[in-house]
Amino acid sequence: MANRVRATSSRSGLFLIELIAAIGLFALASAVCVQLFAQAHLISEESRNLSQAMLRAQSAAECFKAAAGDLEHAFALLGEGDLTDEGALVVRYDGDWRPLARSTLEEREGERDHPAFFQLTLLPSQAAGVRQAHIKVERLFARHAEDGTCLDSILYELWVKAASL
């Protein structure tokens, strides 16, 4: 009887040790796997943002070309964004790349959780008989709104020219 009790106790102890070792191993390996998943998520976000930035820049470039370099016409063709006092066309997007209306931006100006995440800027200029524009798509860190809008990390940029024949 005593032997049986000892054997059962020994088996339970062995199982407990195995369980502890298994939990430890699982914790270690899952920490590595979670890091891999997190890295994959960040890379995926990066490529999604690059693709979206590229599409928006191309769309703006084609509007500029179709308008033969006329900014107001390009703005009408693009159908989103605002013309600034500096003579640029600016479109702001939220985290899901939806264009934000000016009214939304004005309402929430200065808030910590500002909805704008990305910004497209089309800045036209004149060079040697052709109209050209620098198109830039940037990430906009709106959390720094208290210190003024902080622009950083250019996602994509290109130059485009339109001839007015």
Partner 1 sequence: MTHDEGGRSMKKHSGMGTGSASILVIFVLLCLTTFATLSLISARADRSLSRRAAQSLSSYYDADCRAVDLMAHLADALGSVDAAAGRERYFTQCAQRALEQFNTLQADEAGGGLVLRYQIDIDDRRALSVGLRVLFPARPGDPRVEVISWRTIQTGEWIADETIPLWQGD
Q: Mark residues 30-69: x for contact with partner 1 by CB under 8 A, - for none.
A: x-xx--xx-xxx-xx-xx--xx--x--xx--x--------
Structure token digits, residue 100: 């934000």
For the chain, how are helix, strand and coil distributed in percent, rounded to 5? 50, 25, 20
* Options 83, 90, 105, 158; binder of partner 1; rule CB under 8 A: 158
Shortest distance (Å) from residue 146 CB to partner 1: 33
User: 160: helix, coil or strand?
Assistant: strand
- Considering the complex, state which of residue 45 and residue 107 has its C-beta at the smaller distance from partner 1: 45
Residue 164 bridge partners (DSSP)? none
Whole-angstrom Cα distance, residue 89 to residue 137?
A: 12
Which one-letter amino acid corresponds to residue 123? L
The contact set with partner 1 (CB under 8 A) reads 4, 11, 14-15, 18-19, 21-23, 25-26, 29-30, 32-33, 36-37, 39-41, 43-44, 46-47, 50-51, 54, 57-58, 61, 128-130, 132, 156, 158-163, 165
